[in-house]
Structure 1
């Protein structure tokens, strides 16, 4: 069915019928506003916009994949503060020619990714637009803990990463060259796999700073370095670059470390910790914090790209 047949409210009804309800939801979609529990008394909030042709392509990703990606980008930001995500609000701008089945699958992806962390889509808005645009706002709860900000890194801290990195960037390169394999890399781009629990885990371990790596490791760590007034050095030998990624890089004429150090969309969490902290195996030490400024690789400036910039 095309959208004009059901109209805006028919479309909203079909979307809402596919959404679950998380434990933090008191009142979900259907009223002027949703009501979400905030037992901590503070609400962590983040928002992100995905634009067709800029952040995703419908010939590269199915609607359910795009829903997962849109939710994940926001849920990871909540986790990076040391919080647990509780709810999502979604605004959807749809061009002519997109049918309701496509949008229902998008809603399925949004709902499924939110459910990974026990959250749900509690409301939003729809509009017509020349360009398909998805705007998501995520809410979260700190559970009584202090937020982990970007400005707390100290010289002597260790830098650790939780989650895979470089996979999505490699998948994007593969797709942009007209290929669909290796499947593991392509699927990493289409649908990120994120350790959301790593955020509260890092906070409990005493993380001094933390960030979601969405635009590239070097670029995002630069935010911690500048906010904390420190220098960060990355050890390239700390990364286990899998054979599939190395093979794809060789075939495409790309340095795989460009994907690892400057690629986005995997959304691992990077955090700094006091050196005496014993980290669980899900956290991999990848560098150190020093006096100074900026981010280096093996104590030298990186000569390649730094990461994604929406206006570059």
Structure 2
């Protein structure tokens, strides 16, 4: 680990901080050796291994003033867990790189790790190591291992005739971000608007990876093509279409949005179509599955929104197609 200088007397030494943050971490029997050595040792998974990594950077993905440190820590892990969910896997172990800027207190780091521990415990995932370093901005990078037990979902598995489904509702997190960033002004009834905004902000600050739903979907035969909604419905569905060499027809009237979304946006679907960070699942299953049956199987509301077709065109039925873009890591947010 690189040396972490004292941050204006507010932080303990690097190794004291490591000991402090890792004190409450509990490990499962599949972890042979956790934090404290040059490498962790984990037992061999039962099936193939999934491996993903993601970062959350201050002023790019979050503003530390918007939520609690616990929410920030949990969110950093949930966005990684969502990648495992999109493949139908089960998370097993992760390592955490924490980059700390001046002005961050040990109490804030305690909160971040408390959120990480809680999210890891709920997902049956071991935190087995990591790194702490000094940086100009606070960032949390997590590398996560998972295993495939029932089957795997890939972006290149969509076929003409498949039905396109999504879990949950779309656009909530994008509106939550805009509310926190001061980019969405109140409208309509103040009391109703206040309740809606609270819900939307919570959807942004505290996403929930669809791990159970992903694993149940992967057990279908054939396993659906799937992706999580991190960058927006249009952009993420576009990745499936590109990898599978197919097109799609989407029915605007079937895009699922929450009552809170409707309260704030009315009939506009722009954020439901292009907003990201909902971490719901888009999947393309063979015909024969109903919304009711899938909702029971996955234990989350499921809506059919369209059909995979031949060709490479993404067509929106019932509304003008918005800009096919969404969140881009290398461009500023609007």
TM over 0.5: yes
- Residue 124 of structure 1: aligned partner: 130
Shift of 1:120: 2.3
- Of the three residues 175, 179, 202, the one matched with 1:174 is 179
1:70 paired to 2:70: no
- Residue 219 of structure 1: aligned partner: 235
Shift of 1:92: 0.6
- Residue 272 of structure 1: aligned partner: 284
- Of the three residues 103, 107, 110, the one matched with 1:104 is 110
Contact kept in structure 2, 1:80 and 1:199, CA below 8 Å:
yes
- Of the three residues 304, 309, 312, the one matched with 2:328 is 309
Shift of 1:256: 4.0
Cα distance change on mapping 1:274 and 1:14 into 2, 3 Å: same
1:204 paired to 2:219: yes
TM-score by length of 1: 0.91
- Of the three residues 52, 55, 66, the one matched with 1:49 is 55
- Residue 234 of structure 1: aligned partner: 250
Contact kept in structure 1, 2:58 and 2:138, CA below 8 Å:
yes
Q: Look up the SS of the partner of 1:112 in the other structure.
A: helix
Contact kept in structure 1, 2:227 and 2:281, CA below 8 Å:
yes
Cα distance in 2 for partners of 1:24, 1:137 equals 17
Give per-residue Cα distances to partners, 1:248-304, cap 9 Å, x unaligned. 225xxxx64122111111101111111123542233212110001142321776234
Give per-residue Cα distances to partners, 1:13-45, cap 9 Å, x unaligned. 111012222453222211111122333242100
TM-score by length of 2: 0.86
- Residue 259 of structure 1: aligned partner: 271
Cα distance change on mapping 1:165 and 1:60 into 2, 3 Å: same
- Residue 286 of structure 1: aligned partner: 305
Cα distance in 2 for partners of 1:32, 1:121 equals 14
Shift of 1:96: 1.1
Give per-residue Cα distances to partners, 1:89-115, cap 9 Å, x unaligned. 110110111111100110111111122
Shift of 1:88: 1.5
Shift of 1:4: 6.0
- Residue 186 of structure 1: aligned partner: 201
Gaps of 5+ in 2: 1-5, 187-193
Contact kept in structure 2, 1:222 and 1:294, CA below 8 Å:
no
Contact kept in structure 1, 2:86 and 2:281, CA below 8 Å:
yes
Shift of 1:50: 1.0
- Residue 298 of structure 1: aligned partner: 317
* Range moving further from structure 2, 109-118 or 211-220: 109-118
Cα distance in 2 for partners of 1:114, 1:167 equals 24
Contact kept in structure 1, 2:92 and 2:146, CA below 8 Å:
yes
* Range moving further from structure 2, 98-107 or 200-209: 200-209
- Of the three residues 16, 27, 32, the one matched with 2:22 is 16
Cα distance change on mapping 1:224 and 1:108 into 2, 3 Å: same
CA RMSD between the two structures: 2.1
Shift of 1:212: 1.1
1:159 paired to 2:171: no
Cα distance change on mapping 1:215 and 1:80 into 2, 3 Å: same
Cα distance in 1 for partners of 2:82, 2:322 equals 28
- Residue 147 of structure 2: aligned partner: 141
- Residue 189 of structure 2: aligned partner: none
Size of the aligned set, in residue pairs, is: 307
Cα distance in 2 for partners of 1:224, 1:263 equals 17
Contact kept in structure 2, 1:69 and 1:190, CA below 8 Å:
yes
